[in-house]
Structure 1
């Protein structure tokens, strides 16, 4: 089995990392091994290609960076594990929908290792937890699916695919200052709560969470 190479970059500049991903993707060929980059960023809001300015309510001096991933506005900051899988989908034999499903699977399995039950919400990529019962196993109700009632978002997704090759990726909130999320409509949803592992009672550090998420991502994209 050939798994992607996992690289832990530590804290790196957001814009420089996006440029490095773009350059890697443009330069690679059918023989280039896949990679997964794990990092964290200084505080920054990032807007997707469809991002609307009105979803930034009050940036409080935090930079707002336009980027070429899908989705709306989100926040990156210290205490969040950001994973950037650089995957050749054609070589792996999957399409974008399956790729997103596997990204979410890696987050779900990471949460499971901590006893946390993550949930998908139809039409809203990312992973959510029940705020009142993050360790319970009941399925989401139709009302929860429609309104996000009682849910908090713990992982956000935003991807770019160029010539069947991916970059950008997924961000898992571990132990961070969540207040900057109050300055935006996270992922374009007004009033959507955002949580991290610490807030729901899970004690872990960035290194451990990054290692675990990286392992699960590598397993999802091994060939």
Structure 2
């Protein structure tokens, strides 16, 4: 079992370019697994963790409803935003500047073969990170992601999540709002859930800007602990 995870900081990168890069890494891992099975080999599979920040973009999961995007193509262009229908789970979400997007491309055969556990541990890494900023984040039953004030009229989502898995290899991941422009969320029904607000870490802390590099470091620390991974 290879528990080494190669961390890559991609900086600001176009969504489609990053998606294609994810697909390449994902397919390379699948190909290794298929070769191992067919030829009775024991080649190790690689694990990756990509950090990226996207220009304004809306993405719709394979089971999502297009009507949850509330603006036209013309309006998207005016807002310098793009739109893609993608092959992850979940409904519609937004990515943009000031948001940490993490894409773990893991062979879960190296860790545990349980997608439910995988999602819960990703959520837990975010929850533990936010706890370091004295925020009591939590899960909302039946709604993947990380929330604040669940079960109250003030419930709000701070981290969205949507993944794809095949032969226990994962791709896509999570998006944590750190210094996000929340106005862009008004152009959609977040994750297809009506009546729920969205927030960002800087808003919760009453700051103009939070140090994103610091948040990324904390996230990686908790990810490594929870997955018992060695970051390289």
Query: Under TM normalisation by the shorter chain, which class is it?
Result: 0.7 to 0.9
Q: Deviations over 1:89-115 (max 9, x none)?
A: 122123100000100010001101111
Is 1:18 aligned with 2:24? no
Structure with greater helix percent: 2
Unaligned runs of 5+ in 1: 131-139
For 2:122 and 2:160, locate their aligned partners in 1 and report how far apart those are by CA, in whole Å. Answer: 10
> Paired residue for 1:221, among 212, 217, 227?
227
> Does the 8 Å contact 1:159/1:168 carry over to 2?
yes
> Paired residue for 2:123, among 91, 97, 104?
104
Residue in 1 aligned with 2:94? 75
Is 1:180 aligned with 2:184? yes
Deviation, structure 1 residue 9? 1.2
For 2:14 and 2:224, locate their aligned partners in 1 and report how far apart those are by CA, in whole Å. Answer: 24
Q: 1:170 to 1:202 in 2, by over 3 A?
A: farther
Residue in 2 aligned with 1:6? 7
For 2:53 and 2:62, locate their aligned partners in 1 and report how far apart those are by CA, in whole Å. Answer: 22
Task: Indicate the structure (1 or 2) with the bigger Cα radius of gyration.
Answer: 2
For 1:102 and 1:4, locate their aligned partners in 2 and report how far apart those are by CA, in whole Å. Answer: 16
Residue in 2 aligned with 1:196? 200
> Paired residue for 2:137, among 99, 118, 126?
118
> Does the 8 Å contact 1:36/1:214 carry over to 2?
no
> Paired residue for 1:169, among 167, 173, 187?
173
Deviation, structure 1 residue 3? 4.1
How well do the aligned residues superpose, as a CA RMSD in angstroms?
1.6
Q: Deviations over 1:113-148 (max 9, x none)?
A: 111110101100000012xxxxxxxxx5xxx1xxx6
TM-score by length of 1: 0.88
For 1:156 and 1:2, locate their aligned partners in 2 and report how far apart those are by CA, in whole Å. Answer: 25
Q: Deviations over 1:162-192 (max 9, x none)?
A: 2210000011000111101001000001232
SS in 2 for 1:71: coil
Q: Which has the higher contact order (CA 8 A, sep 6+)?
A: 1
> Paired residue for 1:150, among 132, 148, 154?
154
Is 1:127 aligned with 2:133? no
Is 1:53 aligned with 2:60? no
Deviation, structure 1 residue 202? 5.6
Q: Deviations over 1:4-59 (max 9, x none)?
A: 22221111111111111111111122513311111110000000001111101125
SS in 2 for 1:198: helix
What is the number of equivalent residue pairs in this alignment? Answer: 208
> Does the 8 Å contact 1:79/1:176 carry over to 2?
yes
Residue in 1 aligned with 2:36? none
TM-score by length of 2: 0.85
For 1:26 and 1:121, locate their aligned partners in 2 and report how far apart those are by CA, in whole Å. Answer: 32
